[in-house]
């Protein structure tokens, strides 16, 4: 893989850097490895411990704000995945993403919000970042977060 085509280079091209790996907010692990599978705990849109996007999408936040919240969740997931995999170059495939949207009654554009997370992960990881996905509406999320995203990934055989 050329140096310009690595996840690190793609992050830089997007003007992004991975934050420190997320710390659990309660009694759970930010990630768990089982053989070549990585299970990533749901991430809310935080900078450090500070929640950035609160409220219901379609009432308190616009779709564009919610997409940005989903991107921030994805960046935190990538940080956890980087930690779990010993580097993003060791990821064979992100297999599944579940995006939970704190949705106002009648809100129906969950997939558009979820694209914020999906697009970022695919841009950073390339074909290894293209995944199956569910976009789910919720009446509330922890801390009144606008979005929460969880993921599953498979590592390359040598990782």
Q: What is the number of structural domains in the chain?
A: 1
**Confidence check: pLDDT of 99 > 70:** yes
Position 135 in a domain: yes
Kindly report the average pLDDT of the chain as a whole number: 94
Q: Which residue has the tokens 């992050």?
A: 11
To the nearest 10 degrees (0 to 180), the angle between helices 63-85 and 110-125 is 40
Kindly state the average pLDDT of the residues 38-50. 94
In the prediction, which pLDDT does 3 show?
59
Please report, rounded to a whole number, the percentage of residues in the chain having pLDDT higher than 70.
97
In the prediction, which pLDDT does 122 show?
97
Q: What is the spatial distance between Cα 54 and Cα 63, in angstroms, rounded to a whole number?
A: 13
Q: What is the spatial distance between Cα 83 and Cα 98, in angstroms, rounded to a whole number?
A: 20
Q: What is the spatial distance between Cα 3 and Cα 132, in angstroms, rounded to a whole number?
A: 28
Token representation of residue 127: 């074909």
CATH of the domain at 50: 3.30.1330.40
Tell me the residue range of the domain where 128 lies.
Answer: 3-15+44-155
Position 35 in a domain: no
**Confidence check: pLDDT of 1 > 50:** no
Q: What is the spatial distance between Cα 80 and Cα 31, in angstroms, rounded to a whole number?
A: 7
Position 25 in a domain: no
Position 119 in a domain: yes
Kindly state the average pLDDT of the residues 15-22. 92
Whether the pTM exceeds 0.75: the reply is: yes
In the prediction, which pLDDT does 25 show?
78
């Amino acid at each position: 893989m050329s140096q310009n085509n690595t996840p690190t280079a793609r992050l830089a091209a997007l003007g992004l850097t991975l934050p420190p790996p997320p710390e659990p907010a309660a009694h759970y692990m930010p990630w768990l490895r089982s053989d070549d599978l990585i299970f990533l705990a749901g991430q809310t849109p935080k900078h450090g411990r500070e929640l950035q996007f609160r409220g219901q999408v379609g009432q308190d936040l616009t779709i564009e704000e919610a997409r940005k919240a989903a991107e921030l969740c994805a960046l935190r997931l990538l940080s956890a995945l980087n930690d779990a995999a010993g580097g993003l170059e060791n990821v064979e495939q992100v297999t599944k993403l579940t995006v939970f949207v704190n949705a106002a009654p009648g809100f129906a554009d969950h997939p558009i919000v979820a694209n914020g997370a999906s697009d970022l992960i695919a841009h950073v990881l390339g074909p290894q970042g293209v995944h199956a996905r569910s976009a789910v509406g919720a009446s509330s999320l922890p801390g009144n977060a606008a979005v929460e995203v969880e993921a599953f990934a498979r590592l390359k055989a040598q990782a």
